[in-house]
Amino acid sequence: MRLFCFPYAGGGASIFHTWPDKLPTTVEVYAVHLPGRGNRLIEPPFTRLVPLVQTLTEALLPQLTTPFACFGHSMGALIGFELARQLRRQHGPSPVHLFVSGREAPQLPSPEPPIHALPEPQFVAELQRFNGMPKEVLEHPELMQLLIPTLRADFAVCETYTYTSDAPIDCSISAFGGLQDHEVSREQLEAWRDQSRASFSLYMFPGDHFFLDTAEPLLLKTIARDLQQSVRMFM
C-alpha cells in the first residue's frame, strides 16, 4: 500500500518525515514536495489548483501501480480530493482510501474572507492567527521574505478554488479534525460524507488546526487501522 501525503499551505515533504517509521511496514509513505519550498524554493509555486492537480496527476501516474491511498491536511486535503477526481476523469486508477484533514468539505463556501492578496503586515497577522508558523520564523524578517511568496501562492490555490459538482468518488473517506480548531468545525468535516459512494468516518483529535503534530500517535494509529480495513475490502 502506498500512501501519498500532501502538505498544508507553506508546508513541504518534511512534515511527514517521521511517518515511515511510525506506520506499519506494509505502508510506503510518499511525501509530495511541491515547488516553491525547501530544495525547490527557486521554482515558481502554483497559484491555482487545476494546473497543480493536472501536473501532479501526470507525475504520480507511474507510481500508481499498486493499491494506494491519499492523505492531505488543509490545502493538501483539497489536492488529494481533486487528484482522485482527476484520475477518474482520465480513467486512471482510483485510491482505495482518501484521508482529508483540517479542511471543510469542498462543496461548502469558505467561511473566511481571502487573505492571499492582503498587504504584508495584514497577511502576516492572519498567519499568526492560524498558529501554523513558529514564533521564531515569524520574528525572522529575512526568512519570512523567503516564505511569503509561497504562502501567498498556496493560499491563492485554496481561495480561488471553485467546486464543480460531480458524482461522489468510489473510495472510502476518513475526515479528521481538531477539537480546538476554530477554523474548521465538526459539521464542516461531516459534509465530506456526501463526496463518497463508499464508507465515511469522522474522527476528532485533541488540538487546534495543527493537531496532526500534537496528536500524531493517535492520528497515525487511526490511519493504519482504516488502511487495513480498506485493503481487506480491496482484496
At residue 137, what are phi and psi to the nearest 5 degrees? Answer: -70, -45
Backbone angles phi, psi at 125, to 5 degrees: -60, -40
74 counts as catalytic: yes
CA gap 22, 27 in Å, rounded: 10
Q: Which of 14, 74, 196, 230 is catalytic?
A: 74
* Residues facing 204 on adjacent strands: 177
Instruction: Provide the Cα torsion 141, 16, 195, 160; round to 10°.
Output: 20
SS3 of the chain: the string is CEEEEECCCCCCHHHHCCHHHHCCCCCEEEECCCCCCHHHCCCCCCCCHHHHHHHHHHHHHHHCCCCEEEEEECHHHHHHHHHHHHHHHCCCCCCCEEEEECCCCCCCCCCCCCCCCCCHHHHHHHHHHHCCCCHHHHCCHHHHHHHHHHHHHHHHHHHCCCCCCCCCECCEEEEEEECCCCCCCHHHHHHHHHHECCCEEEEEECCCCCHHHHCHHHHHHHHHHHHHHHHHHHC
- Active-site residues, by number, are 74
